[in-house]
Chain A
Amino acid sequence: MTDAQTSAQARPTPHVKDNAIIRFENITKRFGKMVAVDNVTLNIQEGEFFALLGPSGCGKTTLLRMLAGFETPTEGRVLIDGKDVAALPPNKRPVNMVFQSYAVFPHMKVADNVGYGLKMDGVDGGEIKRRVEEALELVKLDGLGARMPDQLSGGQRQRVALARALVKRPRVLLLDEPLSALDAKLRDQMRSELTSLQEKVGITFIMVTHDQDEALAIATRCAVMHRGVLTQVATPADLYEFPNSRFVADFVGSVNMFEGVLEKDEQNEAQVRCKELSAPVYLDHGVTGARGSTVWVALRPEKIEMHKRAEGSTPMKMEDAPAGANVVPGIIRDIVYLGSETNFEVELEGGRRVKTFRSNLTRYDQEDFTWDEPVWLAWHACSPAVLLS
């Protein structure tokens, strides 16, 4: 666990081959003075379900559209299967796209929509018919080939778009915000269907999304983008547990962030003192930062324990930290009951408020925390993430 903090390396995913099918090399895209993508270098392996994650306007869609051929990079190269595709127009690239609006041709029947790409490739009629049926079956739309798109629901239209792209057997399937236009129930269902579909067809999927839940749930690997810059590329678990910057920690999931000074940094332990925390933050691993430098401690709400505190009692001790570390006193200021869990907002000495969750393990809480109750907040030595930027 020594340097797990700063090197959030991707863990191997079994069905991913070690073969970069897509390679972005120092890609920069400017629209006038605005820099949409700033010197991005990124490899995507064959068989991955890759997510480009970031807030709107971060350049993720531009990156995807460069892959499809709808935007041309200002600088840098895009390689598909090791070949520079700069000279290839969209219709000659071995990638296909599922558009955010689905872009199902409203004037063509479902079967004609799905068969459109094959017709363009000069595939003969019988073969088109067979493959269209196969593709419709794959997305569970069998029998709807004769419908017009306006007779379909939003979810079905998306399946048409999926079938239409997959039927061409592309090397890579591009999905632009695939779930954003669906309602919540349908979105959950589609998430698992996309995953199983990808495993079934074995094609590399690249998805653009601003929804971190979606990315964590579906992707085998994610790239987080912020203002055109690639901030972190990692598996969903690493992204959540080992963020490499304040932006990633804050964007992916919910977090309590404290600014502090690195007091100690050894091979197997480190300590940070934060102004807003009355106790030092102790860690059971090193962080490879300079002593005395400013760092940030990120503490996920679910990683904070909450215990009753009697007035005037001595601080409790965490078993994996020195006495006095990783434990701070506070007062519950707000409680939000959410059914499966309850959110608490605890005010520390000095006024800083900290979020924490408690799962509702039983039907009524034995401890019965209530408003304005004094509590201890405590965390394990391996729970906080120390961020250098």
Chain B
Amino acid sequence: MAYRQWEIMERAATGPFMEEKEFLNKRITAKMREVIKKYGVKYDPAHPVPADDAMADAVWQAAWEFFRDVGVYNQDTHRIMEFSEEEMREALYCAPSSYTVGVGKDSRVFGHRTVEDPRPPFVIFSPDITYDEADFFQACVAYLKEPLLDAICSPLLEDFQGRAIQSKTPFEIGGSMQHAMHLRSAARLMGVPGVCMIAVGTAETDVAQVAVSQPDWGIRPSDGRLVSSITEMMTNNAMLNKGAHYQMYGSFSGNLTGTIYGAYAGGAEGTAIMQAAYHLMGLLTYGCQFQQNFPFHLKYGSNTGREMLWVVSMYSQAVSRNTHLVQDSNGFANAGPGTDMLFYEAAAHAMTSTVSGANLWEHAPARNKHANHGTPLEARFAAEVGHAVARQGMKRGQADEIVNALLAKYEENIADAPIGQTFQELYDVAKAVPTPEYFDLYKKVKEEVHEMGVEFIY
């Protein structure tokens, strides 16, 4: 379903004109200040997982008004795509609450979750970073081996045919095709040929995304695709191209957005409201089927600190309680693999997200910026925490207590978080399995988190 696609695309050329700086510095910031005050949205540092339904609803009401009055800015045309209250209600009413993604035995239902939903989250496994060229395939294999994986977003490729992949060049197209082919081959060899791939991340441009839309060797309509926004509430023609292509090709489209805490949205309150508003942006601007959320801290590039967990919980609850939209929550940790801190962060993020009504996208370690610093084991741990807290029917109050206990173990170390070790150091790359030492660390932390109250299923 693409909500009134062409009528909306036309607005990119016909909407009201505004200078970009004025849109960001005046329209966005002024409206955000107004709705925070009007709806009384207030960050509560004592409760990273708040059990405050009224506040969650206030965040949604603020997000609704914010989006209705701000719209989406197109950087190429310098015009604002605006949406009426009626259109917003119609699009929301008509949006399905779940989708079957992937093919055959590997297909899964990716759907809306309620706050404190006993149904487990849909889990997308992804390291969100680049790996050395030689290990790309085995890294994909290692992720695809994970039993709780519902969909995969693989590592990115950096080189193609001996040359660094450069956006907007033929090497980007070639590298993106190779990315898709490798991932497809790895999925077949791991016995999950129909698994949903959220791909391909190597394709930054619209042209490269179109190039990989090929059901035989590339991305199928049963797979997921991502289209992003520009910070904040902005798009451009290339992104609109992607959005339109995904709808017409038939893939499941996700709106990839990360509100920046401390930037145009302001603090925790504005970040939560903006992230909730992005669900409306994705639905109305691109006709998205799901929302991929990764709000992050301006200074640290992570979302596992106290204020960020509150943000994650608040917008997830706001969207879950007030819509039937499909959302996932992407963890960005400070610490890198091979550290107990990363496991604590992964647990805190997964638990917060799951009880707040989100699905999971796990997990970007080491602030998402160090090549090879990501392994499937931290993603597995996050997935296991998510499944456990859902199945045991954990309430927000208990999750809040456990998350506070987890934060006590790492929040003082956020500024100087260790970057940890690489995939190659922590895994037997040829077999694509963790080393015994690394597995022991995972088991040790799992036992600690169990003692805190998480009833792991196995």
Are A and B part of the same complex?
no
Measuring CB to CB, which residues of chain A are less than 8 angstroms from any residue of chain B?
Answer: none
Measuring CB to CB, which residues of chain B are less than 8 angstroms from any residue of chain A?
Answer: none
